[in-house]
Structure 1
Amino acid sequence: MFNQDLINRILIEPIRKGANRLLIVSGYASHTMASWHLKRIKELGLPTIDIELIVGMALYDGLKEDIHQGFKDIHENNDDIYSNFQCQYIIEHAPVHSKIYIWLDNDLPIEAYTGSANYSQAGFSLGRREYMTPCEPYLAFQYYNGLICDVMFCNHNEIEDYIMLRASHPVLENEIENSAIIFDDSIENVTLSLLDSKTGETHRHSGLNWGQRNGREPNQAYIPVPSRIARSGFFPLEKRHFSVLTDDHKNLVLRVQQQGDKAITTPMNNSLIGEYFRNRLGLNNGQFVTRQHLEDYGRTDVTFYKLDEEQFYMDFSPH
């Protein structure tokens, strides 16, 4: 569960007080936290802001492949409905283990916090005993600016010459080389049907065809989650974002949402997961998905393997 008091105090309330720019130095950070933060600001109806993150320990420890790719995807997102997000890594001199959050009104530092919480969902959860305390905004701003000469943007053409990329999980040690990944039932997993349990066909206006109605983008889709699986604790709830590597080596950020936690979506854009499945099925964007399409492809379900609380592997390979 999220530590709502910590989240509100450090990441949300300053926007309501007029801040429009957030500078973050975090030893470790996750793209799932960044996507969750951007989505939360939008869901609360708050003004968009600029978020500028420096990840301090990437040079020392390297980065997981999915986190690096996730940061790049968010960094390059040009959707105006979300706050602007930029991510940089320390690539020179000593690694940076600090955690500092500095709020500005344009270029004027007005509020700052320092402490132990990394910019990650784990860092802002009740599962960690983190402590954050106010600090002098101008001095924190000076500290941030002192790091700028040692950073490189996460999407720079040469960034991978400086940062060692690691497999997202030991089980996925071949993922960077795009080698086959073999799982067995020793890893907790669930298989979710893409068909309507009542009709045996694809859903007409939900599931993979969620967008097939007037006024919706036709690629919008979700993976249905039966209530027994939603209640089982297999997937993170409370709209937490989680990272997924697919069997065709794509990285997705997903979350469970809707009433009864019945749907797995791509929270930053509900069309992304629909585009993904239509591409796998060889269909046109926006095309209605039928059971025959799935059977011709060779599969009517999808299997998730749980690697940890925020990392999953999704298998949609034909049987």
Structure 2
Amino acid sequence: MLYYTDLDKRIYEMQNQIASSNNIVIVSGYVGFRPIQELCDMCKSVNITVIYGMYGSERISLPLHKALLDIQKNYPNITILYSTIPVHAKIYTWNCDDVIKRALIGSANFSVSGLMNDYKEVLSDVSDNTFDSLKDYCNYVQSKAINCNDATVKTRQQYKASVISFQVQSLLSKGICRATLLDRYGEVSRMSGLNWGLSKGHVSEGDAYIRITSNYIKLFPNLFPPKKYVGVENTQSKGKKTRENDEVELIWDDGEQMVGLLEGQQTKTIDGLVYPKQLSSSPSKSILGKYLRRRIGVDVKHTITKADLKRYGRTSIDISLIGEGIYYLDFSVNK
């Protein structure tokens, strides 16, 4: 059977359907921290092995590596491995000891981007007459992998741009988008952006978003993907039928982790495509807002001003892509 919606729920709930399964093995070209953490929470009595496949050719970004180390440290039932040979496969197996009982393969990476955006990727059941060769392949990849806490792990250092100097070419060359928290008048909007939760619309206390301008999209075409389902009805959408938001993973400079949402639509198309207009958090937009307010040092009822940001030390957030659907956000001031 072919699956293309609710892939995350299918992965998380499969264990309950296979009474004899006592271990799960996942081989994925790219991985995210949130799906691994959620699977560990849901299957605490099951041994889980996750192999990050493309480490062999791309290494791993330092922020993501730290997030995975934290998961392995905090969950005794998880082993996270990095394949030393390039592996782009996406394989999910539920096993009884060394015997596969159920398996899925397809295009969906074990990440928020791969599993939580309907119709973007697919997974399909594997017939049991293929289990032996699939097991041989997974065993081979595992034999070429190292533990995430191995001393030989090589990471990609995350470039941190100076807050003081705004060097556009330097930021462009490093793939860093410096997103301003100020509006077109050089102030913090009183009813949107950081102060969105204080507006009179359908908002909750602490709601906030980071604005994505058309200029950011033109300068960084690979950073913010175009919207899906534009002009095509999406019957599964919980909102407007012709609009779909991408869920992504966010890792901050202080190690904070959250699920993000690329939402809304730019007022004008860019090269005929529709792009998101803001970055918020999911499932609640207040997750982002309350987090930023804690860092700035103000409460949820306070109207953030430019003076507040100046006192904190910066008026922008640096955004870069460090993995499939995984963003690194730098709001640090000690540089």
Q: TM (normalized to structure 1)?
A: 0.56
Match of residue 135 from structure 1? 127
Amino acid at match of 2:173: S
CA distance in 2, matches of 1:10, 1:137: 24
Q: Paired residue for 1:112, among 100, 103, 106?
A: 103
Candidates 40, 64, 67, aligned match of 1:67: 64
Q: Which of residues 252, 256, 274 is equivalent to 2:262?
A: 256
Note the 1:1-319 alignment, pairs <5 A.
Answer: 7-8=4-5, 23-31=24-32, 34=35, 54-56=49-51, 61=56, 63-71=60-68, 87-90=78-81, 99-102=90-93, 111-114=102-105, 118-120=109-111, 134-136=126-128, 160-161=149-150, 164=153, 166-167=155-156, 172=158, 183-197=170-184, 200-204=187-191, 206-212=192-198, 218-227=205-214, 229=216, 233=221, 234-236=223-225, 238-246=245-253, 253-260=259-266, 261-281=276-296, 283-291=297-305, 292-305=307-320, 310=325, 312-317=327-332
In the superposition, relative to structure 1, how do residues 95 and 217 fare at CA in structure 2: closer, same or farther (>3 Å)? same
CA RMSD of aligned residues (A): 5.8
Query: Is contact 2:112–2:249 with CA below 8 Å preserved after alignment?
Result: no
Measure the CA separation in 2 of the matches of 1:7 and 1:159. 30
CA 1:138–1:184 in structure 2 vs 1: closer, same or farther (change >3 Å)? closer
In 2, the alpha carbon distance for the partners of 1:294 and 1:14 equals 42
CA offset at residue 136 of structure 1?
Answer: 2.0
Q: Secondary structure at the match of 1:241?
A: strand
Q: Name stretches of at least 5 consecutive residues in structure 2 with no aligned partner.
A: 162-166, 228-244, 267-275
Number of equivalences:
274
SS at match of 1:211: helix
Tell me the distance in 2 between the aligned counterparts of 1:254 and 1:89: 23
Q: In 2, are the aligned partners of 1:20 and 1:103 still within 8 Å (CA)?
A: no
Q: Residue type of the partner of 1:208?
A: L
Matched residue type, 1:290: I
CA contact (8 A) 2:179 2:317 kept: yes
Q: What is the rounded CA distance, in whole Å, between the counterparts of 1:16 and 1:251 in structure 2?
A: 23
Q: 1:209–1:221: 8 Å Cα contact kept in structure 2?
A: yes
Residues 1:276 and 1:16: Cα distance change in structure 2 (over 3 Å): closer
- Give the conservation status (yes or no) of the 8 Å contact 1:33–1:241: no
Structure 1: 5+ residue runs without aligned partners? 39-47, 78-85, 151-157, 176-181
Conserved? CA contact 1:90–1:96, under 8 Å: no
Cα offset, 1:201, TM superposition: 3.6
Q: 1:186 to 1:16 in 2, by over 3 A?
A: closer
Deviation, 1:100, is 3.0
Q: Closer, same or farther in 2 for the Cα pair 1:111/1:301, shift >3 Å?
A: same
Q: What is the Cα deviation at residue 294 of structure 1?
A: 1.5
Counterparts in 2 of 1:265 and 1:317: CA distance versus 1, 3 Å: same
Amino-acid identity (%): 20
Answer whether contact 2:263 2:277 (CA < 8 A) is retained: yes
Contact in 2 for aligned 1:57/1:95 (Cα 8 Å): no
Letter in 1 for 2:110: Y
Q: Which whole-Å CA distance do the structure 1 matches of 2:104 and 2:160 have between them?
A: 39
